[in-house]
């Protein structure tokens, strides 16, 4: 395999393609890359790892410590902040059990999305307005800017924590297995894109995905709070309705419109123009395509819920991924929920 050579991009931003242009150009580039790979196989993969992957053991250790830190911080926040807040606001028992998870995720994704937005719009990085520029001047082992490295550490360690949290801390839902796959794929993408110095496109991916999580958890929190204290609170109900609408629109716009037309177009087509022998081209694009498939999968939940609302089958906002009481698999309660559930049992004795 020849040494990767980087070429500079055009003078101005390249226009965003249509879906048809994305498929046509990406397919053509992928087929050409496959035909031009004369020594593809495990040998090439091992050489690519040796020559282009740059990830030091201390960085992996820092990632692991960060994941542990997020887990400890979440447990402390649940015990000392979220659970007392749910009790003080007199949330319904079912809502009080789920509120800490949504509050935790809302605060994290709000912070990380705001930071990604700052990197893309408050600095000189042109990645959002000119996605192909993520590969301009790419070189193996290039230095990662500190502001982007900080974002990678926060996100990578959090998704390491999220794998554990999905299994042992979060409520078990109909899509929890898919969620586990998502967290593993995301963690692999974060770690490998950092090692291969594809961090520029990584920031764009994180920005386009985190906004939906912010709106989802914001909506769920308002659903929980609209019935607090045994009475209806119209302000929270309105915020929940608006949040649900905003979440549905942003999911399509950010994850199913901008993500493929900006990120996939850059990685599948433009990357080979800038770096003809770009390392692990098929590996990274396969993971990004898998991420797209999961985005489509979850969009079906959104469409299904919208259909139930329009046909009058559902009058109240709820997470359609959650099990009903009659069909729940009765998972073992998480450590964070055990004290709360025990307290509810004690209250019923009086």
**pLDDT tens digit string along 87-122?**
999 999 999 999 999 999 999 999 999 999 999 999
Q: Could you give the count of Cα atoms lying within 13 Å of 259 in the half-sphere of its Cβ?
A: 27
- Residue 234: domain span: 54-311
Summarize pLDDT for 274-296 with one digit per residue, the tens: 998 888 899 999 999 999 999 99
322 within domain boundaries: no
Which phi and psi angles does 153 have, rounded to 5°?
-65, -45
Instruction: Give the mean pLDDT of the chain.
Output: 86
Report residue 229 as tokens. 């204290």
Per-residue pLDDT at 307: 83
299 three-class SS: helix
156 within domain boundaries: yes
Residue 143 has pLDDT above 50, yes or no: yes
**Over the range 201-212, which residues count as b (16 or more CB within 10 Å of their CB) and which as e?**
bbbbbbbbbbbb
Alpha helices in the chain (DSSP H): 19-36, 42-52, 57-77, 83-88, 93-121, 146-168, 176-195, 199-225, 234-250, 265, 271-274, 281-310, 338-348
224 within domain boundaries: yes
Predicted confidence band at 128 (pLDDT cuts at 50, 70, 90)?
A: very high
With a pLDDT cut of 70, the percent of the chain lying above it is: 84
Report how far residue 131's alpha carbon sits from residue 146's, in angstroms, rounded to the nearest whole number: 20
Predicted confidence band at 5 (pLDDT cuts at 50, 70, 90)?
A: very low
Summarize pLDDT for 307-317 with one digit per residue, the tens: 877 776 766 76
Query: C-alpha angle with apex 26: 177 to 32, nearest 5 degrees?
Result: 115
Q: Output the pTM of the full model.
A: 0.86
2 within domain boundaries: no
Predicted confidence band at 12 (pLDDT cuts at 50, 70, 90)?
A: confident
258 within domain boundaries: yes
Summarize pLDDT for 238-262 with one digit per residue, the tens: 999 999 999 999 999 999 999 999 9
Residue 206 has pLDDT above 60, yes or no: yes
Query: C-alpha angle with apex 99: 97 to 104, nearest 5 degrees?
Result: 125
Q: Could you give the count of Cα atoms lying within 13 Å of 227 in the half-sphere of its Cβ?
A: 12
Least confident span in 5-14, 66-75, 114-123: 5-14
Report residue 68 as tokens. 């542990």
338 within domain boundaries: no
Report residue 309 as tokens. 């609302």
350 within domain boundaries: no
Residue 29 has pLDDT above 70, yes or no: yes
Predicted confidence band at 41 (pLDDT cuts at 50, 70, 90)?
A: low
Number of domains comprising the chain: 1
87 within domain boundaries: yes
């Amino acid at each position: 395999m020849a040494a990767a050579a980087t070429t500079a991009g055009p003078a101005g931003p390249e226009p965003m393609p249509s879906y048809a242009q994305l498929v046509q150009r990406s397919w053509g580039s992928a087929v050409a890359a496959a035909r031009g790979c004369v020594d593809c196989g495990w040998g090439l993969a091992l050489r690519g790892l040796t020559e282009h992957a740059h990830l030091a053991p201390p960085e992996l250790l820092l990632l692991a410590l960060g994941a542990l830190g997020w887990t400890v911080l979440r447990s402390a926040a649940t015990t000392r902040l979220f659970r007392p807040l749910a009790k003080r606001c007199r949330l319904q028992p079912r809502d009080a059990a789920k509120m800490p998870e949504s509050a935790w995720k809302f605060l994290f994704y709000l912070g990380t999305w705001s930071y990604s937005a700052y990197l893309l719009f408050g600095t000189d990085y042109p990645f959002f307005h000119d996605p192909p520029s993520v590969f301009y001047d790419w070189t193996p082992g290039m230095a990662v800017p500190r502001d982007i490295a900080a974002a990678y550490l926060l996100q990578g360690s959090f998704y390491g924590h999220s794998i554990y949290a999905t299994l042992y801390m979060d409520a078990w839902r109909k899509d929890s297995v898919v969620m586990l796959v998502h967290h593993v794929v995301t963690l692999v993408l974060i770690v490998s894109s950092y090692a291969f110095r594809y961090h520029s496109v990584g920031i764009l991916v994180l920005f386009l995905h985190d906004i939906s999580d912010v709106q989802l958890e914001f909506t769920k929190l308002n659903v929980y709070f609209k019935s607090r204290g045994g009475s209806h609170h119209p302000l929270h109900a309105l915020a929940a309705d608006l949040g649900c609408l905003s979440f549905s629109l942003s999911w399509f716009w950010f994850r199913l419109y901008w993500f493929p037309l900006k990120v996939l177009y850059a990685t599948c087509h433009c990357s080979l123009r800038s770096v003809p022998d770009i390392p692990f081209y098929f590996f990274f694009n396969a993971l990004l395509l898998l991420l797209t498939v999961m985005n489509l999968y979850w969009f079906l939940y959104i469409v299904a819920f919208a259909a139930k609302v329009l046909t009058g089958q559902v009058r109240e906002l709820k997470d359609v991924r959650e099990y009903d009481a009659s069909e729940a698999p009765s998972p073992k309660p998480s450590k964070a929920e055990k004290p709360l559930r025990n307290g509810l049992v004690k209250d019923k004795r009086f």
